[in-house]
């Protein structure tokens, strides 16, 4: 009898597995994971066609585990393949559209969103890195994004960027379409039937008016845009920078140019280069589409010259004309130097902390791994049906990342040299000072600023605390900032926990308290307290600082050597 009951239970269990409803199958996919998810269910489970035809669908967006946003369920949605050349890649990019404005993962309420596949970029990093850079620099209306895993009808498509579509709205390109304000794009691709196209009067550049769309724009509005662009281009040859400033917002143009030139977007003069007209002036931005940038070009398609360090954003004729004006180049230099800490931190650790490449891989690496191994997008393979636009990939993901890292470093050094800018400080040969990960070591306490500055080959070096330059007779404290106008360096003065340039009884008391965990030190103070550099604050550290104060040992002779 027991055997019959057991057999009956086994049959029921087997039948229940095969009889699972679709919703039960979806439950695991819909559970929060290490990254947010976009789940697309097309009506009838049909495939999403490559011809960009819109398909009706339901959409779920699930925040990551521990996230703060409720799951979104959108009915009556649409999805379609998006992009120009990327639309014919095997890993498809998509546009999704909700039937009403929806706040997606805290990025604001909008109907339309884009899912960038980053198929050409084996690192999966380039677009996100540029968006963060441009936002920090202040390029207007830089899109917000989130990394997500995308599933279509329960099948993993890979790691994507869920990103603001470039369109006019209060949370995107915030311009007034009813008040002669426009979103325009340099575009030589197959004409979009929704856009009005024009050729600029002086330089003959092909522009699309993205918004207002062609069905909403009037003849008067198109004449306004054509006339403004003509007059703006005419001013570029006037030798009068003040006149140029009447037509262009120079600050946004300079910030846009810095972004385009540093990351060397290959498409700058052909497509995806956007401007907007606001208040009667032309503004640079928003940025878009940087998967083919930062050295990621196929020389068989683009030519061997793309591998050489050259200016590239000047292929866009407006920028070629603007950089001939000293006033514009000075502004470019200013912004480039102001961004040096951020630029350096893209590829190596510095005072901002762990470098961005490693930080992003640490944060999103599990998603990247699923992209390569579960979704099948091997980083050593070109996943395109008809052409290869990206560089010939390396065999491993890590090798592709290292190419990107080295390219960013070399590009920064080349632009600094070519623009005649000094960003990094150089210590004199034979000096007791040394530099490690942008920390200047080898200092002792009670060193005047004037004496400290004498240890550098570089001119115009300053020492500051909280943004205020120190006087020549002030002591250089632990945690001071050293710079010649570009990259920032910190100082490490062992024992100087109080960060005043002098080691006294207060310092060893603080080290002792840190050992007993009655106080918590910040990173700079911790580094000063960790006299022997073993990564811990132990009994020896506070005894050493105390004995140094009383003159029985010299911690700098022991540990600065």
178 has a pLDDT exceeding 90? yes
| Least confident range of 250-254, 279-283, 299-303, 396-400 | 299-303
Query: What pLDDT does 201 receive?
Result: 93
Q: State the Cα–Cα distance between residues 59 and 61, nearest whole angstrom.
A: 7
Q: How many domains does the chain have?
A: 2
pLDDT score of 3 more than 60? no
Q: What is the mean pLDDT of residues 478-495?
A: 97
Task: Specify if 518 maps to a domain.
Answer: yes
With contact defined as beta carbons under 8 Å apart, do 423 and 486 qualify?
Answer: yes
Examine the pLDDT at 556 and tell me if it is beyond 80: yes
The alpha carbon torsion through 492, 495, 501, 506 (nearest 10 deg) reads: 150
For residues 423 and 415, is the Cβ–Cβ distance under 8 A?
Answer: no
Q: Please, which pLDDT band fits residue 561 given cuts at 50, 70 and 90?
A: low
For the segment 137-151, the average pLDDT, to the nearest whole number, is 98
In 429-521, which ranges are E strands? 434-436, 439-441, 462-465, 468-469, 481-483, 489-491
Q: Is the pLDDT of residue 266 over 70?
A: yes
The residue length of the chain stands at 561
Assigned domain for 51 exists: yes
Task: Give me the mean pLDDT over the 494-510 stretch.
Answer: 95
Mean pLDDT of 497-516: 94
Task: Find out whether 541 and 529 touch, Cβ atoms under 8 Å.
Answer: yes
In angstroms, the CA 528 to CA 499 distance is 9
Give the E-state strand segments of 235-337 in sequence order. Answer: 273-278, 281-284
As a whole number, mean pLDDT of residues 124-147 equals 98
CA distances from 135 to 178, 351, 541 (A): 27, 20, 43
Confidence (pLDDT) at 27: 56
Residue 303 burial by Cβ neighbours in a 10 Å radius (0-12, 13-18, 19+)? exposed
- Residue 507: inside a domain, yes or no? yes
Please tell me the predicted confidence (pLDDT) of residue 85. 81
Local confidence band at 83 (pLDDT 50, 70, 90 cut-offs): confident
Q: Is residue 535 left, alpha or beta, with left meaning phi > 0 and alpha meaning psi from -120 to 50?
A: left
Distance CA 353, CA 265 (A): 27
Q: What band does 307 get if pLDDT is binned at 50, 70 and 90?
A: confident
Average pLDDT score over residue span 276-301: 96
Quick one: average pLDDT of 342-354? 97
Q: Does residue 49 fall inside a structural domain? A: yes
- According to the model, what pLDDT value does residue 86 have? 83
Q: Averaged over 488-497, what is the pLDDT?
A: 97
- What pLDDT is recorded for position 423? 98
Structure confidence at residue 19 as a pLDDT band (50, 70, 90): very low
Q: Is pLDDT above 60 for 21?
A: no
Report whether the peptide linkage leading into residue 432 is cis, meaning its omega lies within 30 degrees of zero.
no
Of the residues 130, 145, 164, which one is the last residue of a structural domain?
164
Establish if 242 belongs to a structural domain: no
Q: Can you give the C-alpha Rg of the chain in angstroms?
A: 29
CATH number of 442's domain: 1.10.1330.10
Coil, strand or helix: which one is 395?
A: coil
Whole-number pLDDT of residue 57: 98
* pLDDT above 60 for 22: no
136-152 core/surface letters (b: 16 or more CB in 10 A; e: else):
ebebbbbbbbbbbbbbb
* Among candidate residues 251, 315, 328, 252, the one with its CA nearest the CA of residue 286: 252
In a domain, 201, yes or no: no
Query: pLDDT tens-digit profile of 159-173?
Result: 999 999 999 999 999
The per-residue b/e assignment along 285-296, b for 16 or more CB within 10 angstroms, e otherwise, is bbbbbbbbbbbb
Question: β-pairing, 155-164 with 145-152?
Answer: antiparallel
**Residue 492 falls inside a structural domain:** yes
8 A C-beta contact, residue 494 and residue 531: yes
Q: Is the pLDDT of residue 519 over 70?
A: yes
Structural domain harbouring 92: 21-164
Domain boundary among 146, 164, 182: 164
Cβ–Cβ < 8 Å for 422, 416 = yes
Q: Is residue 2 part of a domain?
A: no
Last residue of a domain, one of 164, 189, 211: 164
Total-model pTM:
0.92
Summarised one tens digit per residue, pLDDT across range 449-466 is 999 999 999 999 999 999
Mean pLDDT (the chain, rounded): 93
Closest CA to 541 of 497, 500, 501: 497
Distance separating alpha carbons of residues 347 and 408, to the nearest angstrom: 7
Tell which phi-psi region holds residue 382, choosing left (phi > 0), alpha (psi between -120 and 50) or beta.
beta
Q: Token pair 């009005």 is at which residue?
A: 196
**Residues linked to residue 160 through DSSP beta bridges, in sequence order:** 148
Contact 36, 148 (CB under 8 A): yes
CA distance 202 to 143: 31
């Amino acid at each position: 009898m027991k055997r019959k009951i057991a057999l009956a239970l086994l049959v029921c269990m087997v039948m229940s597995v095969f009889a699972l409803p679709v919703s039960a199958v979806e439950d695991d996919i819909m559970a929060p994971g290490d990254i947010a998810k976009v789940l697309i269910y097309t009506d009838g489970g049909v495939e999403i066609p490559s011809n960009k035809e819109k398909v009706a669908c339901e959409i779920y967006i699930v925040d990551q585990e521990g996230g703060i946003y409720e799951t979104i369920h959108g009915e009556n949605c649409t999805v379609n393949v998006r992009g120009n050349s990327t639309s014919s890649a095997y890993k498809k990019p998509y546009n999704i559209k909700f039937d009403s404005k929806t706040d997606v993962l805290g990025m604001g309420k909008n109907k339309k969103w884009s899912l960038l596949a980053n198929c050409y970029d084996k690192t999966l990093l380039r677009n996100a890195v540029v968006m963060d850079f441009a936002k920090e620099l202040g390029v207007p209306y830089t899109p917000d994004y989130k990394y997500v895993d995308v599933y279509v009808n329960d099948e993993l498509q890979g790691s994507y960027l869920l990103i603001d579509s470039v369109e006019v709205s209060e949370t995107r390109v915030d311009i007034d379409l009813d008040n002669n304000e426009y979103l325009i794009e340099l575009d030589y691709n197959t004409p979009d039937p929704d856009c009005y196209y024009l050729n600029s009067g002086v330089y003959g550049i092909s522009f699309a008016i993205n918004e207002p769309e062609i069905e909403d724009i009037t003849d008067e509005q198109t004449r306004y845009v054509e006339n403004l662009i003509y007059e703006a281009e005419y001013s570029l040859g006037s030798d009068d920078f003040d006149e140029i400033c009447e037509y262009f917002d120079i600050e946004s143009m300079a910030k846009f140019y810095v972004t385009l030139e540093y990351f060397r977007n290959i498409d700058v003069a052909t497509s995806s280069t956007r401007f907007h007209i606001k208040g009667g002036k032309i503004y640079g931005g928003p940025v878009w589409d940087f998967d083919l940038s930062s050295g990621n070009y196929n020389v068989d398609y683009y030519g061997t010259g793309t591998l050489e360090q050259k200016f590239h954003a000047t292929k866009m004729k407006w920028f070629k004309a603007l950089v001939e004006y000293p006033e514009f180049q000075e502004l470019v230099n200013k912004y480039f130097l102001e961004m040096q800490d951020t630029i350096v931190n893209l590829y190596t650790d510095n005072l901002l902390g762990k470098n961005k490449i490693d930080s992003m891989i640490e944060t999103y690496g599990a998603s990247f791994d699923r992209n390569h191994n579960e979704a099948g997008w091997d980083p050593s393979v070109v996943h395109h049906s008809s052409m290869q636009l990206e560089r010939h990939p390396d065999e491993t993901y890590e090798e592709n990342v290292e190419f990107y890292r080295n390219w960013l470093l070399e590009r920064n050094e080349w632009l600094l040299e070519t623009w005649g800018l000094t960003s990094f400080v150089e210590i004199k040969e034979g000096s007791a000072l040394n530099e490690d990960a942008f920390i200047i070591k080898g200092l002792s306490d009670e060193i005047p600023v004037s004496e400290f500055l004498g240890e550098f080959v570089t001119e115009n070096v300053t020492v500051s605390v909280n943004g205020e330059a120190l006087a020549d007779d002030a002591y250089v404290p632990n945690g001071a900032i050293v710079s010649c106008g570009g990259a920032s360096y910190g100082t490490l003065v062992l024992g100087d926990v109080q960060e005043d340039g002098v080691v006294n009884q207060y310092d060893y008391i603080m080290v002792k308290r840190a050992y007993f965990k009655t106080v918590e030190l910040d990173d700079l103070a911790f580094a000063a307290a960790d006299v022997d550099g073993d990564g811990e604050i132990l009994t020896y550290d506070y005894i050493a600082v105390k004995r140094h104060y009383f003159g029985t040992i010299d911690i700098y002779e022991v540990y600065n050597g």
